[in-house]
């Protein structure tokens, strides 16, 4: 309740939450990690996902899928993702039509990864959409074939949405693997 005792509408609550819970330099808030979801449930007694999804469809807020939940933004403040066409241009450097499917995936990993990361998220990087649009084929099926041939490495994600793609030898190596090997060989 506000000072006047008037209950906020769902839209007012969400907009106020974004403005008051975000931390500079970030323009949005994480629905889970900011405490927003629980605060919404406590205030309204309803599911925040339904409300934020509806508000996003109405254009009152913007959302972006993010690890463990979604990011909530005021209209016009969400980061813009490049289109599949822009990603195709970035990967091919104007020569995308001459790249094979395999070259496209390898160049995609090289050009879409951001320092200090050595891999890319198959969905959030836009590679899957760009591959699908450019080749009219299933990127999951093709990258799975490349993995089985040892041409790329894949790390599945707990969320179940997408995988991390790496060039051979660039995938993260577990500390436990190194520790186990060291103990075995001592």
pLDDT of amino acid 174: 60
In a domain, 184, yes or no: no
Considering the domain architecture, whether residues 99 and 171 belong to the same structural domain is answered as yes
Give me the sheet containing 29-30, strands edge to edge. 29-30, 69-73, 62-66
Per the listing, tokens 């409300």 go with 51
**Structural domains counted in the chain:** 2
In a domain, 135, yes or no: yes
**Domain region containing 130:** 84-175
In a domain, 180, yes or no: no
- For position 94, which CATH number holds? 1.10.10
How confident is the model over 126-143, as pLDDT tens digits?
899 999 999 999 999 999
In a domain, 1, yes or no: no
The DSSP bridge pattern shows strands 120-121 and 153-156 to be unpaired
Phi then psi for 124, rounded to 5 degrees? -65, -25
Query: How would you class 62 by CB atoms within 10 Å of its CB: exposed for 0-12, middle for 13-18, buried for 19 or more?
Result: buried
In a domain, 129, yes or no: yes
How confident is the model over 68-123, as pLDDT tens digits?
788 999 999 988 778 888 888 888 877 767 889 999 999 999 999 887 888 998 88
Considering the domain architecture, whether residues 88 and 169 belong to the same structural domain is answered as yes
pLDDT of amino acid 167: 94
Considering the domain architecture, whether residues 65 and 93 belong to the same structural domain is answered as no
In a domain, 162, yes or no: yes
Of residues 51 and 79, more confidence is placed in 51
Domain boundary among 51, 73, 95: 73
Q: Nearest-CA neighbor of 163 among 126, 134, 120?
A: 120
Query: How would you class 126 by CB atoms within 10 Å of its CB: exposed for 0-12, middle for 13-18, buried for 19 or more?
Result: buried
Considering the domain architecture, whether residues 99 and 164 belong to the same structural domain is answered as yes
In a domain, 5, yes or no: no
pLDDT of amino acid 4: 61
């Amino acid at each position: 309740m506000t000072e006047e005792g008037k209950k906020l509408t769902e839209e007012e609550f969400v907009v106020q939450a974004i403005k008051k819970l975000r931390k500079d330099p970030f323009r949005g808030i994480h629905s889970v990690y900011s405490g927003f979801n629980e605060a919404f449930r406590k205030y309204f007694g309803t599911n925040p996902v339904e409300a934020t999804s509806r508000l996003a469809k109405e254009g009152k807020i913007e959302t972006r899928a993010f690890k463990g939940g979604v990011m909530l933004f005021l209209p016009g403040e969400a980061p813009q993702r490049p289109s599949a066409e822009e990603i195709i241009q970035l990967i091919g450097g104007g020569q995308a039509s001459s790249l094979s499917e395999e070259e496209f995936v390898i160049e995609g990993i090289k050009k879409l990864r951001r320092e200090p990361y050595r891999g890319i998220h198959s969905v959030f990087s836009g590679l899957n959409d760009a591959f699908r649009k450019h080749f009219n084929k299933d990127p999951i099926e093709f990258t799975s074939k490349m993995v089985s041939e040892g041409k790329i490495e894949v790390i599945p994600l707990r969320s179940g949405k997408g995988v991390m793609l790496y060039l051979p030898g660039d995938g993260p190596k577990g500390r436990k693997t190194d520790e186990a090997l060291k103990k075995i060989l001592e």
